[in-house]
Amino acid sequence: MKAFLARALPPLLSAVVFVALWHAWTQAFGIPAYLVPGPSEVLREAWENRADLLPASLVTLAGAVAGFLLSLAVGLAMALVFAQARWIRASLYPYAIFLQTVPIVAVAPLIVLWCGAGFASIVLVSFVLSIFPILSNAVLGLTRIHPELEELFALHDASRFQTLFKLRLPHCVPSVVAGAKVSAGLTVIGAIVGEFFAGYGAHTPGLGTLILQANGQMKTGLLFACVGASTLLGLCVFLATGLVAHLLLRRLEEPESRH
Amino acid sequence: MHDADFISSHRTALDFPDGTQALAGLDLSIGRGEVVSLVGPSGCGKSTLLRLVAGLLQPSKGTLTIAGMEPARARREGHACAFVFQSPTLLPWRTVEANLTLPLELLKLPRTARKARAQELLELVGLSEFRTSYPARLSGGMRMRVSLARALAARPKVLLLDEPFAALDDLTRSRLQEELLSLRVREEVTVLFVTHSVTESVFLSDRVLVLSPRPGRVVGEVAIPFGPERTPDLRSTAEFARLTGCVSRLLATGSAS
């Protein structure tokens, strides 16, 4: 508990200082609320629109989690194919990098065109944005194995199946977890971007849709509240992934390296 | 096939795909139950030779047999072969017990048999209380003991050790050397031991083979007539000093030629 406080206190203090400065600045210079609303204004807007913000956050969370699970499943499946042979990697990996480099805002309208506005498109945009870290890390974990470990398995005439389940798959867990941590952050961004393009087709507006609306109506206070909610959502997803990662990997860590 | 050349190589050569010659015209014969050390300068192909015996590599020229058979076939026909690497190469996601029984799992032995063997092995290397620990929690010396015990799990007829103690501190190294000596008294096993340490080679083996720089071949050998029962005091006898001197001289002349 003491250690937790020691770690949590500095960022909390800097947040308090930041909010205080922000408040003082908007007050002292009389900045109009439609340009930069003060913190109290943002909180008021958030409270007044809680009936929209809370469901919107949950909708965005659902899109992000679905996109994340999809990239985890598809990323692992693709990595398993890639891990089978060097020639498969050589011929397909350059195109997998396409997933990383493609500008998502250019592809999102296409996805909406093909899948229609709504949840499916939002999940797909989030998926395209977040699959690459999982895929590339899983390929690394499945293939970059200490040669002596492979020799150990060869020496006991282990089958391809045994080597996959007893060596390659468990070996790739830490790298997949590392990739999943990166993807977890991207997946929330992906869901919000997806809602920009496809949110109007959903039953309940997500944070992305709400941001568009607030922006269109010059409700800067609400816009700020949406940004705050998105950030909090991303933080929650990040912390949750970190917790799962810790539970999965704690046995592999040296006692000295734990903090 | 005679017991005297249980492991036998004739004019064995190995070239790597990049053209380097690791071994050239290597002749050697090792008797059943013999403990033989291989010493030689770095990169002289000692580890490559172990991998040939294990059947992990195939000779480019010449032959190498175990009990008259190709190594890969010999190990499937009752002459199981185990390898102890320079690093412990444990699987970090498995407990000590599960690491020990990995070879048995790969051989598809039933669970009860694996459990029973794990018990024996844990006692053998004195790690019973660490049965359910993960490798991350063990010291370097303990990890190497697990690695040794894992190598013995499937009761191998041939035990290949590739500088297993090189990365350990002196005290741990001597303890493990003594454990290895007591193992050979208990288990019927032929041992090939690669090392950089002349004293280690003399202390542990019945015969020391000295290899030339790359491409490696045997340039001399020293018989070590101490028998299987040895105590740490042996290291301070005059005879021990004489034998290490012999090996060192062979190493020096072998490297010069």
Cis before B215 (ω within 30): yes
Put simply, the answer to whether A251 touches B83 (Cβ < 8 Å) is no
A171 Rama class: left (phi>0) / alpha (psi -120 to 50) / beta: alpha
Position A170 scores a pLDDT of 93
Q: CA of B104: which chain A residue's CA is closest?
A: A156
pTM value surpassing 0.90: no
Position B185 scores a pLDDT of 77
Residue A218, pLDDT above cutoff 90: no
Flag whether residue B136 sits within 8 Å of chain A, measured between CB atoms: yes
Put simply, the answer to whether B154 touches A156 (Cβ < 8 Å) is yes
d(CA A88, CA A78): 11
Put simply, the answer to whether A155 touches B81 (Cβ < 8 Å) is yes
Put simply, the answer to whether B85 touches A253 (Cβ < 8 Å) is no
Res. A31 pLDDT band, cuts 50 70 90: confident
CA distance B178 to chain A (A): 25
CA distance A161 to chain B (A): 11
Position A114 scores a pLDDT of 92
Position A257 scores a pLDDT of 45
d(CA B37, CA B22): 18
C-alpha distances in angstroms, B248 versus B40, B214, B217, B242? 10, 18, 17, 10
Residue A52 near residue A209, CB atoms below 8 Å = no
CB atoms near residue B18 (< 10 Å): 5
Tens digits of residue pLDDT in B188-222: 889 999 998 899 999 999 999 998 887 888 888 89
Put simply, the answer to whether B93 touches A154 (Cβ < 8 Å) is no
C-alpha distances in angstroms, B244 versus A109, A180, B70, B250? 78, 56, 34, 10
Res. A259 pLDDT band, cuts 50 70 90: very low
Helix or strand run (H / E) with residue A61: helix A50-82
CA distance A89 to chain B (A): 22
Put simply, the answer to whether A254 touches B136 (Cβ < 8 Å) is yes
CA distance A142 to chain B (A): 14
What is the three-class DSSP state of B107? coil
In a 10 Å sphere around its CB, with 0-12 CB exposed, 13-18 middle and 19+ buried, how is residue A197 labelled?
Answer: buried
What is the average pLDDT score of chain A? 89
> Comparing C-alpha atoms, which of B51, B77, B104 is closest to residue A150?
B51
Flag whether residue A173 sits within 8 Å of chain B, measured between CB atoms: yes
Residue A256, pLDDT above cutoff 80: no
Residue B2, pLDDT above cutoff 70: no
Flag whether residue A151 sits within 8 Å of chain B, measured between CB atoms: yes
Put simply, the answer to whether B83 touches A151 (Cβ < 8 Å) is yes
B83 contact residues in A (CB cutoff 8 A): 151-152, 155
| B253, two tokens | 């002349």
d(CA A163, CA A50): 53
Position A258 scores a pLDDT of 42
CA distance A255 to chain B (A): 7
Tens digits of residue pLDDT in A137-178: 999 999 999 999 999 999 998 999 999 999 999 999 999 999
Flag whether residue B130 sits within 8 Å of chain A, measured between CB atoms: no
Nearest to A157 among B76, B83, B136 (CB): B76
Sign of torsion over alpha carbons B89, A161, A159, A138: negative
Nearest to B107 among A156, A166, A170 (CB): A156
Among A128-137, A250-259, B34-43, B44-53, the range scoring the smallest mean pLDDT is A250-259
Put simply, the answer to whether B83 touches A152 (Cβ < 8 Å) is yes
Residue B234 near residue B23, CB atoms below 8 Å = no
A156 contact residues in B (CB cutoff 8 A): 103, 106-107, 154
B153 contact residues in A (CB cutoff 8 A): none
Residue B230, pLDDT above cutoff 90: no
d(CA B172, CA B142): 9
Interface confidence, given as ipTM, is: 0.89
Degrees, nearest 5: CA angle B26-B30-B31? 160
Put simply, the answer to whether A152 touches B81 (Cβ < 8 Å) is no
Put simply, the answer to whether A252 touches B92 (Cβ < 8 Å) is yes
Interface test with chain B among A151, A152, A167, by most B beta carbons within 10 Å = A152
Chain B, residues 61-80, CB within 8 A of chain A, namely 75-76
CA distance B234 to chain A (A): 34
